[in-house]
Chain A
């Protein structure tokens, strides 16, 4: 099963990116092989609809679990349609969050924010 996480750099110990739609990279972790792959986020420089495009990338990657701080309504619609479950990330690196997921310490992300009409994404 594949878990996908937005990360700030191509490194399993990199912090989880606060933005989903505009994260520079995604880390794709395969629970069977225990290996991590990194995908560029084509939506990072999108003028608009970044969440949607990023979500399309995720669906195409075959991931079944997403761990993220935030997610907009449009992206969530795509992810839900694609059968991807969304968990709320906790402070720490991508690896930290994979560990917490395995220990069943992460909760499902319920705070989905409405679309910001192409202008959103919190940048901490």
Chain B
């Protein structure tokens, strides 16, 4: 089973648009949205029924038992995350290290389960779609991402490929989504920000022994920059596997809760199909993306 992960570095370059199209074109029966902070994929997947929701429990958080507390203030002094003030523990700042629990002279602090988000599982007609929503203000989203992937692998029966819509950035949730990915597709755009961020996400993917491929979205908004991306990728042995033109049809499709691949005659629809065909022919059947360094 090949796992295809779509990343970008910069937000807003078109990850979900591309992921949604790949899912349609490949008739994939196993896919996931790992952008647990701001999941959007479900908005353009056809015919989804109600998902099964499970509360996700990450790190436990510390809780002060007020009746036992003598107000000595030791926990407040010792906490490295500034999570304790006036006998009150800020759950958003608490990282669950448990030091306050150990240090409290009257054992007034305990660790308690804390739900930092919910997992959602959609199972329709043999398809499995795994996603999650992190509750706002929470950290350690990487663990929730790992849970999304585990939920997917625990539930799908047999699939040649699975498609994962990743999150922007290079941090926690991105690192977690890279684990287990066979093919990484970076969707970039020809703007100075897009290029800058693409370089960092390429670095991050390579840090984890993956050789990503790149596709340039909205390539015609700045053809100079597009050429720069192609030159840069060539210089570091990264393949640019396709270019998608700016197409107002994309917004229309999204706002109609549809994937752009349902408009196959549109310029963007055509370009994404070509990219998918390339991936299908050349990457899924081979071991292209494993870094042989």
Contacts and interface: CB of A to CB of B under 8 A. Distances in A.
Interface string B150-169: 10011000000000000000
Interface in B90-108: 96
Contact of B208 (A47, A113, A123): A113
Q: Give the size range of B's interface with the partner.
A: 20 to 34
Main secondary structure of the interface of A (DSSP, over half): loop
Given A47-B58, A47-B59, A124-B1, A117 B153 contact: no
Interface residues of A, number: 13
Given A47-B58, A124-B1, A117 B142 contact: yes
Contacts of A123: 149-150, 153-154, 180
Contacts, number: 47
Contacts of A114: 207-209
B25 interface: no
A75 to B, nearest CB: 14
A117 B207 CA distance: 12
Contact of B146 (A113, A120, A124): A120
Contacts of A61: none
Given A47-B58, A124-B153, A118 B142 contact: yes
B284 interface: no
Interface of B: 1, 58-59, 96, 140, 142-143, 145-146, 149-150, 153-154, 172, 175-176, 178-180, 207-209
Interface of A: 47-48, 113-114, 116-124
The 7 closest A-B pairs by CB, nearest first: A119-B176, A119-B142, A122-B180, A120-B179, A123-B153, A119-B146, A116-B179
